[in-house]
Amino acid sequence: MTNTVDPTAWSALLLGLTAMFAGIGALRKPGAWRIMIEEVEKSPALQFVCGMLELLIGGLVYMANPWVPSDLLACVLRAMGGLMMIEALAILGFVDIYTQFWLRSLSHMHRGWAMTTVALGLALVVPAAARFH
């Protein structure tokens, strides 16, 4: 039996759709991301849940995508998975410092971050869709 599941395409599609719709939601409701980050900063339980969830997702993305130089999408996703794991560890260990960076950044660049997130999502969805037959 042949394996017909392309983990790279599915990883890119799911991460891309998540990014696109998170960015669209942020554009529709300015300030929502700031409120979420403030809530995470105040709650040790949310800090732990967010850190562990991102570590899990980042680890899965990292392990599902081999480093094959001829497959640019797989390499990009593997790097993203690695960065997600590093960010998760930063959240778990240094949330007070890390959230302050984002709160300062979002206060004057909210729309820019949201549009960048939509663009990143689109940049993942398009090549993912091209891989499906």
- Quick one: pLDDT at residue 3? 67
Look at residue 114 in the predicted model and tell me its pLDDT. Answer: 92
pTM score of the predicted model: 0.87
Number of domains in the chain: 1
**Model pLDDT, residue 1:** 57
Which residues are CB-neighbours of 128 under 8 A, at least 6 positions away?
8, 9, 10, 11, 12, 13, 16, 73
In a domain, 107, yes or no: yes
Q: What is the pLDDT of residue 104?
A: 81
Say how far residue 94 (Cα) sits from the centre of its chain. 19
User: Residue 132: CB partners within 8 Å, gap ≥ 6?
Assistant: 6, 9
> Domain limits at 51?
7-131
Tens of pLDDT, residues 26-69: 999 998 888 988 899 899 999 999 999 999 999 999 999 999 99
Non-local (6+) Cβ contacts of 83 within 8 A are 58
pLDDT of residue 25: 95
Whether residue 2 lies inside any domain: the answer is no
Better-scored residue on pLDDT, 86 or 41: 86
Residue 63 lies in a domain: yes
pLDDT per residue as tens digits for the range 4-19: 889 999 999 999 999 9
Q: Is residue 109 part of a domain?
A: yes
What is the mean predicted confidence (pLDDT) over 79-98? 94
